[in-house]
């Protein structure tokens, strides 16, 4: 991870296979001194002006098309962009009355990063909490049969510009969020992932009796 995201150091991280909203997850961001760091933030952005932190549970995603103008996200879109490292994510395909979980990853199984925004919030006792959200866009042709939206995957060559606080022009920022990768593989996995408490390798195990791949 240090090499992929040009980090000077990476502390030990517990592997996760099923991160849920309001849980901690690693993000890569630029520090005040211009360096990059890996930090663990809570998933579900709480705007700095929010009076109730429960709003974060409704802010796990932000539409990229409107994030620059929405009060909850516009400040972070200009000043607090981040990358959320991952090697896969889940979506569900309807099969009759059931929903089949699909594990979506790159064809070479390499890590990648979602486009994210982060925010700093203080509770009434001035105790700090840092949170993040994942930017989404219209699903590409591969994922459209599953859902109309998908998380934005930032191309590696755009990591530096995305994290650079000097990149503030809305059109320049928007240009970094286009052209989603087309080398994704969609693989049916076990229903084990449907329970939030399950966070182990069984979550990405192939679904029983299903060895087919969507690519």
Burial tier of 26 (Cβ tally within 10 Å: 0-12, 13-18, 19+): buried
List the domain range (segments joined by +) for residue 117: 24-88+108-181
Give the pLDDT of residue 215. 37
Tokens, residue 146:
């599953």
The reply to whether 95 falls in a domain is no
The reply to whether 153 falls in a domain is yes
Strand partners, 138: 149
Give the pLDDT of residue 194. 93
The reply to whether 160 falls in a domain is yes
Number of domains in the chain: 1
Give the pLDDT of residue 98. 85
The reply to whether 167 falls in a domain is yes
Instruction: Using pLDDT thresholds of 50, 70 and 90, give the confidence band for residue 210.
Output: low
Q: How far is CA 185 from the centre of its chain?
A: 17
Q: What is the pLDDT of residues 25-55, one digit of tens each?
A: 999 999 888 889 999 999 999 999 999 999 9
Give the pLDDT of residue 214. 42
DSSP state of 157: G
DSSP state of 203: G
The answer to which of 5-19, 108-122, 176-190, 197-211 has the lowest mean pLDDT is 5-19
The reply to whether 3 falls in a domain is no
Give the pLDDT of residue 69. 94
The reply to whether 118 falls in a domain is yes
| pTM for this entry | 0.91
How much of the chain exceeds pLDDT 70, in percent?
93
To which residue do tokens 């105790």 refer? 127
In whole numbers, what is the pLDDT of the chain averaged over residues? Answer: 89
Distance CA 213, CA 199 (A): 23
Q: How far is CA 82 from the centre of its chain?
A: 9
CATH label of the domain that carries residue 35:
3.90.1680.10
b/e code 74-113 from CB counts within 10 Å (16+ = b): bebbbebbbbbbbebbbbeeeeeeeebbbbbbbeeeeebb
Nearby residues of 125 by Cβ (< 8 Å), 6 or more positions away: none
The reply to whether 208 falls in a domain is no
DSSP string for residues in 86-148? ES-EEEEEEETTEEEEEEEEETT---EEEEEEEEEEE-TT--EEEEEEEEEEE--TTTTTT-S
The reply to whether 191 falls in a domain is no
Distance CA 31, CA 88 (A): 26
b/e code 125-146 from CB counts within 10 Å (16+ = b): eeeeebbbbbbbbebeebbeeb
């Amino acid at each position: 991870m240090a090499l992929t995201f040009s980090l000077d150091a990476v502390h030990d991280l517990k592997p996760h296979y099923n991160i849920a909203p309001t849980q901690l997850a690693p993000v890569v961001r630029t520090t005040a001194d211009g360096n990059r760091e890996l930090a663990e933030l809570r998933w579900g952005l709480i705007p700095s002006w929010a009076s109730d932190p429960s709003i974060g549970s409704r802010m796990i995603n932000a539409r990229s098309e409107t994030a620059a103008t929405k009060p909850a996200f516009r400040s972070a879109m200009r000043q607090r962009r981040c990358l959320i490292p991952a090697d896969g994510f889940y979506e569900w395909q309807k099969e009759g009355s059931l929903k089949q979980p699909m594990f979506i990853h790159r064809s070479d199984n390499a890590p990648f990063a979602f486009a994210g925004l982060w925010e700093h919030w203080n509770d009434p006792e001035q105790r700090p909490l840092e949170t993040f959200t994942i930017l989404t866009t219209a699903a590409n042709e591969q994922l459209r049969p599953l859902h109309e939206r998908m998380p934005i995957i930032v191309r590696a060559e755009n990591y530096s510009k995305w994290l650079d606080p000097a990149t503030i022009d809305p059109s320049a920022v928007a240009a970094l969020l286009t052209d989603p990768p087309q080398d994704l593989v969609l693989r049916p996995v076990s229903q084990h992932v449907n329970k939030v408490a399950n966070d182990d390798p069984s979550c990405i195990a192939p679904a029983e009796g299903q060895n087919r791949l969507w690519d």
